[in-house]
Amino acid sequence: MKEKTITFQRMVGKEEEGLYLEVPFFVPDQAASMEISYEYDRNGNIIDFGLLNEKGELIGWSGSNRSRIVISDHRSMAGFASVPVKQGQWSILLGAYKVEEQGVVITYRVTFYLKGLKLYKGDTHIHSSGSDGNMTPEELSLAAGREGLDFLFVTDHNNYAHNYHLSSTDLVTMIPGVEWTHYKGHMGMLGRKRPFKNFISNSLEKTVEIVEEARENGAFTVINHPFCYWCGWEWGMEKVPFDGVEVWNGGLMPERNQACLDWWDDRLKEGKRIPITGGSDFHKYEPGRMPASPCTCVYALSNSAEDLLEGLKKGHSFLTISSEGPMMETWAGDNLMGDEILIGSEIMFTFWNLKKGDVLILISQDGREEIPCKSDRLSIQRTSGKAGYLRAEIRRSLIKDYPYIPVFLSNPYYITGEKNDKE
């Protein structure tokens, strides 16, 4: 992550003793977090510290106990609110509690950690003891950190009480969510503490109203395991608005996930653009069940909740069987999967953590191209064909003589327009 540091001073005279003073500084665009430290001659001087954001709102106050704080939207130091580090004029609150006769010079140092596109790994569908899971959110965050994950969406059934108590760690961003749960289907409502006022619906009209309320509140709405035998989506895939679909659920048999994958690919062929997610649907550790299996990997500007949510909404993501991969890096100029590109654009793919015998499948409006994987790494380049889409799958036989199933799925590039004149 790129850094930018500024240093400035404030001289406080004896006549200012007992006053609260504002020391302004400017926060640049695209700051993910910032670290503020200050130093002065503490022999006879006591200088308190606080912070106002770009709107003049109090972010926190530490008195003189500290000489360093960190601010970010998902994990600020104790005593300071977790808020976005937005561009604009912020102010340090300087409390001149005790000042020697000769005055005192305070030196402030602010380091901004700037956003830059990076791959983050996590799980979009996980349950805690807030509903029918057996681990608290705190225990889930510790488990996720041990698995090398960067984020978790906690999605308890019809319950958002836990969302007001989520605490991120240095490793894992804990993001609010709810799994709206009905006898006719489940929907993940991701990224908002309280996406709806009341979960109860006894009609299609009320269901539509609840989903629209969640979307208006900024939640990313995802139909979960729509082709599950026991709790599939019975409202009709065309009758309720939604933003994305969970094509890979860790609790389902492969044929049920394949049914959803087939449905999604048919919609892509019709010209629809539906971003996909994968979720473990984890409740407790049991054979074959663990967080981030599958793992959702998102390209985002930072590991803040809003940046990760934005990456999911844009389809800048892929799904893989675990946090260990297979993994992928891809680009088409400045564009990522989920973006629109022109006919004739060059697309680069690099895959790693493959196994010999894996099969890479490139799926487009034109059909399928199958490429055997002969080593643990594969790089290829393709030119986008006719208008439509291009996405990648990797299939593997997990057990000898067992049918090949997906162990990797990507969101597509959307191909449009005339042939790129540069080609």
> Rounded CA gap, 211 and 195, in Å?
9
Which position has the token pair 């000489």? 67
Phi, psi for residue 243 in degrees, rounded to 5: -105, -35
pLDDT of residue 423: 41
In sequence order, the β-bridge partners of residue 46 are 98
Burial of 382 (0-12, 13-18, 19+ CB in 10 A): middle
**pLDDT tens track, the chain, 423 positions:** 799 999 999 999 999 999 999 999 999 999 999 999 999 999 999 999 999 999 999 999 998 988 999 999 988 999 999 999 999 999 999 999 999 999 999 999 999 999 999 999 999 999 999 999 999 999 999 999 999 999 999 999 999 999 998 989 989 999 999 999 999 999 999 999 999 999 999 999 999 999 999 999 999 999 999 999 999 999 999 999 999 999 999 999 999 999 999 999 999 999 999 999 999 999 999 887 899 999 999 999 999 999 999 999 999 999 999 999 899 999 999 999 999 999 999 999 999 999 999 999 999 998 999 999 999 999 999 999 889 999 999 999 988 878 999 999 999 999 998 654 444
pLDDT at 61: 95
HSE toward the beta carbon, residue 421, CA cutoff 13 A? 0
Burial class (CB in 10 A: 0-12, 13-18, 19+), 71: buried
The residues, any chain, with a CB within 8 Å of residue 121's CB and separated by 6 or more, are: 148, 149, 150, 151, 292, 295, 296, 297, 323
Domain ranges in the chain are 3-114, 118-416
Tokens of 225: 């395991």
Question: Given 3.20.20.140, 3.60.110.10, 3.40.50.300, 3.50.30.10, which CATH number is that of 118-416?
Answer: 3.20.20.140
pLDDT at residue 417, rounded to an integer = 84
pTM of the model: 0.91
106/94 Cα distance (integer angstroms): 9
> Looking at the domain that runs over 3-114, which CATH code has it been given?
2.60.120.380
Are 368 and 362 in contact by the 8 Å Cβ rule? The answer is: yes
Between CA 143 and CA 330 the distance in angstroms is: 29
Kindly give, in sequence order, each residue whose CB lies less than 8 Å from that of residue 273, ignoring residues fewer than 6 positions away. 315, 414
